[in-house]
C-alpha cells in the first residue's frame, strides 16, 4: 500500500469506523425499539415502522447482516491500523502493540459504545430510519447470511435451544403490563391508572370478596305489622329491599320500592300488595368470578343477587354497583362504607370498624394483611386468636399491631390499628 497516501489511509480508517458505528447503532436501535409503539405507528401508515417490524419478524437474518457487516469492518479497521503502523514505525513489536491498543480503543469508543448508547436512547426514531438502509443490505447479502445461518441453526439444534419468534418475544405478561401502567404517570391521569390497575385485580376476585355480609343486608320481615314495614321502607337507603318471612335466612323475594308508588300515594300498602310486587330472588354461588357475574347480570337483566355457599346458605348480597365500584372506586355515600376515608393520624393510629374489608384496609392504609382467609378485620382477629377477645386486648397480625376497642354481639366492633414501623 506504499502507493496510497497516508492521508487517504487515515480517511479510509475514519470511514471504516463510521460504517462500523452505523451497524452498531442499527443493532441496538432495532433490538431496543418498542414493538408496540412501532405497531401503532405502522397502523397509522408509517412506512419506516412497517419496514422495521418486518425486519424484527426475521431477527436471525437481520442480525446476520448487521453482525456480518460490523465484524468485517472491524477486521478491516484492525488490518488498516496495522498497515499504517508498519508504514510509520516499521515492524517494531512495541509499535504493533501500541497500534493494537489504539485501534481497540477507537473501535470501543467510536464504533461500539457511543453508537449503541445513541441507539438505545433513540431506538424508536432510529429504527424507522435505519430500516430503509438495512433492508437493501439484507437483500444484497442474503446468500451469505443464509449460509451463515445454516451453521447457527445447526448449533442451536445441538444445544436444544429454540429461538423465540419476534411476535412471541414481544408479548407482555400481566405483571409486565401492570408495571407499564404503574410507570405511565406522565401520560395517564391517576384516576385512569387506578381503573386499569383494578382490572388486573378483578381477575382474581369472586363475588364473595366484594359482597355485603349477611348481617348488614337491609331486609324487611313481611310477617311484621304493616306499620312497622311502612316505617322501615320510609327510612330505607335502598330502592331494592330484601324480603324475608320470620327468619332472616329465609329470603323469599326482592321488593323494588318504585312498584309500591301507587299504593303509597293511595295509602293502601298491605301485606298482599307487598307479596304481589315482590320479584324472585336471584342467587349466586360464592365462588363466581366477578367478570363472570358481570356477564350474568347483563344476560339475566339483574342488578343484585344473594351470594350462597356450597350448602345453599346465604352469605351476603352483591350488586352491579359493587362490581362497578371495584373498577372505578367508590362513588356513592352508602351507610356501609366504613373504609371510604381511612387515613393514618399524625401519631400513626387509626380507628377502624371491625366489619371493614381487609382489601379496603390494604388499599387505603398501605397494609399487607393476609387475604387468603377471612375477608373482614373482625374475622381476621378472631381466626388469629381462636376466640372472641374482650376490649383492651392487643394482637399483632404480621407487622400490624392492633388493639380491640369495642366488642358487641359476639363481634369486634372497633379496632385501633398502629402504623407498621418503616411505613
pLDDT in tens, 89-138: 887 888 888 888 999 999 999 999 999 999 999 999 999 999 999 999 99
DSSP structure string for 144-166: HHHHHHHHHHHHHHHTT-PPPPH
Which residues is 251 bridged to in the sheet? 244
Residue range 226-231: average pLDDT?
Answer: 84
Residue 328 to residues 58, 117, 274, 375, Cα–Cα distance (Å): 42, 41, 35, 21
Q: Are 404 and 392 in contact (CB under 8 A)?
A: yes
Residue-wise pLDDT for 173-196, tens only, equals: 667 677 777 666 666 777 777 777
* Percent of the chain predicted with pLDDT > 70: 89
DSSP structure string for 196-258: HHHHHHHTT-BHHHHPEEGGG--EEETTS-HHHHHHHHHT-S-SEEEEEESEEEEEEEEEEGG
Instruction: For strands 283-285 and 349-353, give the pairing.
Output: unpaired
pLDDT of 170 > 70? The answer is: no
Residue range 329-356: average pLDDT?
Answer: 70
Q: How confident is the model at residue 330 (pLDDT cuts 50, 70, 90)?
A: low
The answer to pTM > 0.85 is no
99's grid cell = 497500534
**Could you tell me which of 249, 223, 250, 217 has the C-alpha nearest to residue 236?**
217
Please tell me the total number of residues recorded for the chain in this structure.
423
**DSSP tag of 90:** -
170 — phi, psi (to 5°)?
A: -90, -5
At the topology level, CATH places domain 207-328 in CBS-domain (3.10.580)
Rg (CA), the chain: 36
Taking the C-alpha atoms of residue 126 and residue 27, their distance in angstroms, rounded to an integer, is 10
Taking the C-alpha atoms of residue 42 and residue 46, their distance in angstroms, rounded to an integer, is 5
Q: Do domains 207-328 and 349-418 have the same CATH topology?
A: no
Residue range 270-289: average pLDDT?
Answer: 87
Tell me the domain boundaries of the chain.
6-169, 173-204, 207-328, 349-418
pLDDT of 246 > 80? The answer is: yes
In CATH, what class is 349-418? alpha beta
Please tell me the predicted confidence (pLDDT) of residue 339: 43
pLDDT of 341 > 70? The answer is: no
Amino acid at each position: 500500500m506504499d502507493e496510497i497516501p497516508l492521508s487517504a489511509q487515515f480517511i479510509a480508517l475514519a470511514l471504516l469506523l463510521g460504517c462500523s458505528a452505523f451497524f452498531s447503532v442499527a443493532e441496538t436501535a432495532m433490538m431496543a425499539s418498542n414493538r408496540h409503539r412501532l405497531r401503532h405507528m405502522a397502523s397509522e401508515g408509517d412506512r419506516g415502522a412497517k419496514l422495521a417490524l418486518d425486519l424484527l419478524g426475521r431477527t436471525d437474518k437481520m442480525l446476520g447482516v448487521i453482525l456480518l457487516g460490523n465484524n468485517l469492518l472491524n477486521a478491516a479497521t484492525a488490518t488498516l491500523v496495522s498497515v499504517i503502523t508498519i508504514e510509520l514505525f516499521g515492524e517494531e513489536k512495541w509499535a504493533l502493540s501500541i497500534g493494537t491498543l489504539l485501534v481497540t480503543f477507537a473501535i470501543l469508543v467510536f464504533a461500539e459504545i457511543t453508537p449503541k448508547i445513541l441507539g438505545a436512547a433513540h431506538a424508536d426514531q432510529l429504527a424507522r430510519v435505519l430500516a430503509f438502509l438495512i433492508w437493501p443490505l439484507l437483500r444484497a447479502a442474503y446468500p451469505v447470511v443464509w449460509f451463515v445461518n445454516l451453521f447457527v441453526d445447526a448449533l442451536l439444534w445441538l444445544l436444544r435451544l429454540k429461538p423465540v419468534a419476534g411476535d412471541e418475544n414481544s408479548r407482555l405478561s400481566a405483571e409486565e403490563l401492570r408495571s407499564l401502567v404503574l410507570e405511565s404517570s406522565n401520560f395517564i391521569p391517576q384516576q385512569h391508572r387506578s381503573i386499569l390497575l383494578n382490572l388486573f385485580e378483578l381477575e382474581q376476585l369472586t363475588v364473595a370478596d366484594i359482597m355485603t355480609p349477611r348481617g348488614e343486608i337491609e331486609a324487611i320481615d313481611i310477617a311484621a305489622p304493616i306499620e312497622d314495614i311502612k316505617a322501615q321502607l320510609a327510612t330505607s337507603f335502598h330502592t331494592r329491599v330484601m324480603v324475608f318471612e320470620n327468619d332472616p335466612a329465609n329470603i323469599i323475594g326482592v321488593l323494588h320500592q318504585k312498584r309500591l308508588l301507587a299504593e303509597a300515594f293511595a295509602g293502601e300498602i298491605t301485606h298482599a300488595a307487598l307479596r304481589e310486587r315482590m320479584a324472585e330472588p336471584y342467587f349466586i354461588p360464592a365462588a363466581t368470578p366477578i367478570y363472570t357475574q358481570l356477564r350474568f347480570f347483563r344476560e339475566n337483566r339483574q342488578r343484585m343477587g344473594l351470594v350462597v355457599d356450597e350448602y345453599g346458605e346465604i352469605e351476603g348480597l352483591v350488586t352491579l354497583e359493587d362490581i362497578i365500584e371495584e373498577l372505578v372506586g367508590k362513588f356513592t355515600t352508602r351507610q356501609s362504607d366504613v373504609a371510604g376515608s381511612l387515613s393514618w393520624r399524625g401519631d400513626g393510629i387509626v380507628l377502624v370498624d371491625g366489619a371493614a374489608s381487609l382489601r379496603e384496609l390494604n388499599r387505603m392504609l398501605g397494609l399487607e394483611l393476609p387475604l387468603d382467609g377471612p375477608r373482614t378485620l373482625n374475622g381476621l382477629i378472631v381466626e388469629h386468636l381462636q376466640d372472641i377477645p374482650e376490649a383492651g386486648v392487643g394482637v399483632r397480625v404480621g407487622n400490624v399491631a392492633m388493639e380491640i376497642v369495642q366488642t358487641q354481639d359476639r363481634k369486634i366492633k372497633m379496632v385501633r390499628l398502629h402504623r407498621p414501623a418503616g411505613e
